[in-house]
Structure 1
Amino acid sequence: MGPGKAASLADATRGRILFGGDYNPEQWPEETWHEDVRLMKDAGVNSVTLGVFSWAKLEPRPGEREFGWLDRLMDLMHTNGIGVVLATPTSSPPPWLGRLHPETLPVDEDGRTEWWGGRQHFSHSSAVYRRHAAAITEDLAARYGGHPALVMWHINNEYCTYDWGDEAAARFRQWLRDKYGTLDALNSAWGTAFWSQGYGDWAEVHTPRRAHYLKNPGQVLDFKRFTSDMLLECYVAERDIVRRHSPDHIPVTTNFMPLWAGQDAWRWAEEEDVVSVDLYPDPRDPFGAQHGALVQDMTRSQARGPWMLMEQAAGPVNWRGVNHPKPRGLNRLWSLQAVARGADAVCYFQWRQSRQGAEKFHSGMVGHAGEEGRTFQEVKRLGAELRRIGGHVTGSHTRNDIAVLHDWHSWWAGAHEGRLSTRVDHTAVLTAWHRALWQAHLTTDFAHPEHDLSAYKLVVVPQLYALTDPAIDNLLAYVRGGGTLVSGFLTGVADQDDRVRTGGMDARLRGLFGIRTLHEWWPLDEGETVETDGFRGTLWSEEIEKGDGGTVEVAYKGGELGGLPAVLRNGRAWYVSTLPEPHALRTLLAQVADGAGVRPVLHGLPDQVEAVRRGDLLFVLNHGRESVTVEVPGSHQDLLTGATVEGEVTLGRYGVMVLRP
């Protein structure tokens, strides 16, 4: 298959939900493999991921290849009807590569080398690393590209490395020359007239290393863009190799970490056949289900359809200060939540819990307790249920009337250390707004601010500090076309170079929202709130003056901002200049959504119950520990039990129903 031709997740699923996880058999004696296959078949596992961290096993010394063990595994999986998601092992180079070629190791902003002994110890800019990564990928793909067990390629793992070293600096300079062409253009974009930072020679430009005081924001912003692009180059190089050796129907993926700041996932998703993500909500987090919903909504939107849950935990993880297990039923609930929100693959890290190494306390589908343990028994139940519903759900879409806008470049620009309030965190604000919609039982997609938004009745902008001109024009056109827009504070402040726009907010946006003048920003301290005539505001406030056409929906009450707009509306465009307390934000967004003609999937739902439509199926999920009763109009069949339900359904603790009309 040529580099420009793509397969899809449907080619791997073949009408079923992929179910399995990372399998690391090199950690176990070979006789264990047959026991693993028996347990996999018992649990309904139909897919395993092999080779993610196997580089040292495959190439124990430079240029040597040891494929015999993997040959036997691929054949064993195929014989037993288990598909293989085969990974390139390039996320964790063997020690010999770092010893012989220290230039392949990443360097931090203080100039310290990150050594082998962990993982992800590679410089994305190193020509030597890329050459060795390509060589092992080439041989792996040539050997297994046509193997009948192969259902998908998995490139690298959780791309997440930064590098401030000399080779990265040389690549950064070239990246900047390609982008700007001239030093004059670079100096303009970075605002180097400030603090005597003007560059007169490309050799003076470096990665933004440790500085005496605040770094140049434009330089830092471009370095983040550069890092995402360099990692993407690594992915695309390996992707194109495996495509050359594989039939047309074998898709390629790599796994995102949710809301990781180092990748522009919108751009990355365009280069993937399958968009996949790793998702690990904290079992003790009362909003763990909402965090899962946010990540699932974002991943589905990046995929523009079905997506892959590449990793989750069957029980506890090992990296939090205290690592709690999942209570009985929670693993099933969160897995089916992912299916409800578009997942056609439900997988884990990992199959069998490790006995040694850094992640020996990270759970597996088969835990230290073995097949009699609760974790494996729950995995078996889930596998059976996924088989039951797979043919009814795979390939279908989840369609929503609300789009939440998110952009990595805006996030990067707004995160500079010299900002007005370090308490304003992009992901926290994004989460607060999505949570308010989720608690109002309103299902959402995500979109980039330059995407076509015309299909949505409501567009929500929690915060977009930096907006390009095309993005602003897109928002104006959306409202002119009849859409409803609601925006949070600190939006439209800067352009794509992090240059503050005249007036502190783009003039077109001020006109859209009915703002005459944005006089001043008023960030709030920890624990500080502002009173309005409708709610209390947190985190932030703004001194804005209403312009012609603007209607003050909620005004500040008392203090410096008394009488000024807290919530301003101009026709179908709303602007919220503070962060309302959670209940107030939920009420406000529900009001705006209702005015835009957006309704919950089911009315009258208890707070802890989630209802999501996927295709013609209705998923009803109880995220509480107590039984609840839910009104569901009409007659349905619960695909999980086969029972017919009419009018009213009862869900037990962490209960789920998948209802077909």
Structure 2
Amino acid sequence: DVVTDYLSWQAKIVNQYKRPDQFITQDFSGGVHTNLDQWAVAGNLDIVAENPYFETQKRLDARTIWLSGDLGRSLKHTNYLVTETNAQTIGWDSRTQYPQYPGQLRLVVYTHLAAGANMVEYWHWHSLHYGQETYWKGVLSHDLEPNRTYAEVSRVAAELKKLGPQLVDLKKDNKVAILFSADSANALNYMPVSDHVNYITVLKQMYDALYDLNIEPDFVQAGDPNLSRYKVLLIPSLYSASDRVLQQTSDYVKSGGQVVMAFKSGFANEYSTVRDVMAPGPLRAAAGFHYQEFTNLAEPEPLTPDLYGVGEQNKGSVWEEFLIPETAQVIASFEDPYWHSPAITRNNFGSGTLTYEGTFLTDTLQRQVIRDVVKRAGLTGQDQNLPSAVKVRHGRNAQGKVLHYYLNFSGEEQTFSYPYGNGSDLLTNASARQGQAFKLKPWDLAIVAEQ
């Protein structure tokens, strides 16, 4: 595409003149992009950069930070840079000026590092005195004097000067991935299923479910030949995909993979042309059903039975496919006087399982479906028992030590039982023994390095 070709041309020019100790990077504006091929762009870079901005104060969490970071890390399967992020307030006017609470800037720096960032820098050094980004404030305010933000940046910089070698180049071995298809996203934007639910809505719902469950994912591009390194694959509506991509997915399940797949998958080919075979086309054997009809849903409809125990959240909305099971087990069906179609199915295929959602689930139900699949894959443990405000990320540092980042995204002290190997908190030197009660102060963190 034009963007990839342009950046490739620029990279070739720079490569002719840069020194051996210099590198080429390009910053993505954060999140998942459907208007360019981020994997192809990354192929021209030595290292990927991200610009993740986020909500602050009581709304601070790691969702958008880690969504950008997990994608950036996945593009080249290595560490990345943060080239822009919140210093003080952000916004193109003064209607959204929410400075971070004391401690939040420091917490966020380590949140970036916990996802695999090797650098954090701010846009920008000092606040502009006029123009579009007058209120997109830098480390220094308009008075150009040292301030609270400068002091917090200085504090964390001093910590990183000491601990940096133990934190950079954090390596991951994630067993869950989200399959991304820009073709499907664009095809569904061209032929929408709803005014408020689209491909990215489903992708973010799946990602948020993993975030809530403290499960760290990678992203893989549709067509990636190395799916076997993951035990679980979450697939947002794979509406537009070639027979080859769908066959790869089926082979992944047959070889033992666990898949959660959203509605409309397999319906059209890579040219967004609807297949002239019974839906879901080449996925039929792996999915264990077929269908010919579908309907929009004017309002959410209840499902039965409530096997996941979500009560009033046991509903489907937006879209319903009239699934006809062949080998698939029905997990939940629509409770409707006319249509009693399966809404969630599970099919054993080869050594693996494909769980299919023929409708748009509530957030709560989606989380429980994913929890069940991940548990069946043997990937759950004590991380799923942490207080909801405590988020954890894991990795192995350059010295080969396993690190566990525990981050408290709340204004209240949090307590949990530390479940991993004995070690110590790099920030305080406090010991951490398996089974020990651990306390995190408000908007604070611990980085435990196992012995």
State the TM-score, normalizing by the size of structure 1: 0.62
Q: CA deviation at 1:494?
A: 1.3
Offset of 1:349 from its aligned partner? 0.6
Measured in 1, the distance between the counterparts of 2:444 and 2:337 equals 48
Measure, in 1, the Cα distance between the counterparts of 2:418 and 2:384. Answer: 9
CA distance in 2, matches of 1:489, 1:388: 49
> 1:367 Cα shift?
2.2
In 2, distance between residues paired with 1:487 and 1:510? 13
Q: Which residue of 2 aligns with 1:242?
A: 14
Does residue 356 of structure 2 align to residue 567 of structure 1? no
Aligned with 1:239: secondary structure? helix
- Distance across 2 between alignment mates of 1:600 and 1:319: 43
Q: Is the 8 A contact 2:92 2:132 kept in 1?
A: no
Q: 1:636 aligns with which of 420, 423, 429?
A: 423
Indicate yes or no: 2:403 matched with 1:617.
yes
Cα displacement string for residues 77-97 of structure 1 (whole angstroms, at most 9, x for unaligned residues): xxxxxxxxxxxxxxxxxxxxx
CA contact (8 A) 2:29 2:52 kept: yes
The corresponding residue for 1:507 is 281
1:267 aligns with 2:40: yes
Q: Against the structure 1 CA distance between its residues 641 and 369, is the aligned structure 2 distance closer, same or farther, given a 3 Å change threshold?
A: farther
**AA at the equivalent of 1:361:** Y
1:433-448 equivalences under 5 Å are 433-448=206-221
2:314 to 530, 536, 547: 536
Secondary structure (helix, strand or coil) at the match of 1:311 reads: coil
Structure-1 separation of matches of 2:290 and 2:60: 38
User: Does structure 1 residue 557 correspond to structure 2 residue 335?
Assistant: yes
| Distance in 2 between residues matched to 1:580 and 1:285, nearest whole Å | 27
Where does residue 231 of structure 1 map in the other structure? 3
Equivalent position of 1:650 in the other structure: 439
> SS state of the match for residue 296, structure 1?
helix
State yes or no: 1:602 paired with 2:370. no
Distance 2:64 2:429 in 1: 30
Give the match's secondary structure for 1:313.
Answer: coil
- AA partner of residue 532 (structure 1): L
Aligned to 1:315: 88
Task: Say how many residue pairs are matched.
Answer: 428
Contact 2:232 2:258 survives alignment (8 Å): yes
Distance 1:461 1:377 in 2: 44
Query: CA offset at residue 554 of structure 1?
Result: 1.2
Spell out the pairing of 1:30-45 with structure 2 (5 A cutoff).
none
User: Which residue matches 2:234?
Assistant: 460
Q: How does 1:208-607 map to 2 (within 5 A)?
A: 229-258=1-30, 259-283=32-56, 286=59, 288-319=61-92, 321-368=95-142, 370-416=144-190, 418-451=191-224, 452-503=226-277, 505-520=279-294, 522-525=295-298, 528-533=299-304, 534=306, 535-562=313-340, 564-571=341-348, 572-600=353-381, 602-607=383-388
Work out whether residues 388 and 640 of structure 1, in 8 Å CA contact, stay in contact via their aligned partners in 2: no
The change in CA–CA distance for 1:366 and 1:394 in structure 2 (over 3 A counts) is: same
**CA-to-partner distance for each residue in 1:254-305, whole Å, 9 max, x for gaps?**
1111223322112111111111111111226847421222221111111311
Amino acid paired to 2:50: V
Change (3 A) 1:539 1:532: closer
Letter in 1 for 2:5: E
Say if 2:177 and 2:230, in contact at 8 Å, map to a contact too: yes
Report Cα offsets for 1:384-412 as digits up to 9, x if no partner: 22223211122231221101111222211
C-alpha separation between the residues in 2 aligned to 1:548 and 1:626? 51
In the alignment, structure 1 segments of 5+ residues that lack a partner are 1-228
Shift of 1:345: 1.0
CA shift at 1:247, angstroms?
2.4
Following the alignment from structure 1 to structure 2, what is the Cα–Cα distance between the partners of residues 278 and 573?
35
Deviation track 1:121-141 (CA, whole Å, cap 9, x = no partner) reads xxxxxxxxxxxxxxxxxxxxx
SS at match of 2:239: coil
Instruction: Name the CA distance, whole Å, in 2 between partners of 1:540 and 1:649.
Output: 44
Structure 1 residues 574 and 241 mapped into 2: Cα distance closer, same or farther (>3 Å)? same
RMSD: 1.9
- Give the 3 Å change call, closer, same or farther, for CA 379–557 of structure 1 in structure 2: same
Measure, in 2, the Cα distance between the counterparts of 1:371 and 1:425.
Answer: 46
Q: Would the alpha carbon gap of residues 245 and 543 (structure 1) be closer, same or farther in structure 2, given more than 3 Å must change?
A: closer
| Residues 546 and 552, structure 1, Cα contact 8 Å, conserved in 2 | no
In the alignment, the residues of structure 2 paired with residue 610 and residue 410 of structure 1 have an alpha-carbon distance, to the nearest angstrom, of 31
Write 1 or 2 for the structure with the bigger share of helix: 1
CA distance in structure 2 between the aligned counterparts of 1:402 and 1:265, rounded to whole angstroms: 20
Alpha-carbon contact 1:449-1:474 (below 8 Å) kept: no
Aligned in 2, Cα 1:275/1:373: closer, same or farther, shift over 3 Å? same
The amino acid of 1:658's aligned partner reads I
1:614 is paired with a residue whose SS is strand
Q: Contact (CA 8 Å) 1:443, 1:600: kept in 2 or not?
A: no
State the Cα deviation string for residues 561-593 of structure 1 (Å, max 9, x = none): 32x211111111110112222222111111111
Instruction: Identify, as 1 or 2, the structure richer in strand.
Output: 2
* Deviation by residue 1:429-467 (Cα, 9 ceiling, x = unmatched): 211111011111111111012111101110111222211
Checking the alignment, whether the CA contact within 8 Å between 2:192 and 2:198 is kept in structure 1 is: no
The AA in structure 2 aligned to 1:270 is G
After TM superposition, give the deviation of residue 547 of structure 1 in Å. Answer: 2.8
TM-fit CA distance, 1:559: 4.1
Maintained 8 Å contact 2:297/2:320: no
| Alignment partners' CA distance in 1, 2:56 and 2:389 | 15
* Residue type at the aligned position of 2:332: V
- Partners of 1:601 and 1:612 within 8 A in 2: no
Contact 2:427 2:447 in 1 (8 A): yes
Per the alignment, residue 309 of structure 2 pairs with none
Q: Distance in 2 between matches of 1:286 and 1:557?
A: 36
Quick one: distance in 1 between partners of 2:283 and 2:76? 30
Would the aligned equivalents of 1:441 and 1:600 in 2 still touch at CA under 8 Å? Answer: no
TM-score, length basis structure 2: 0.90
Does the aligned pair in 2 maintain the 1:543–1:561 contact within 8 Å?
no
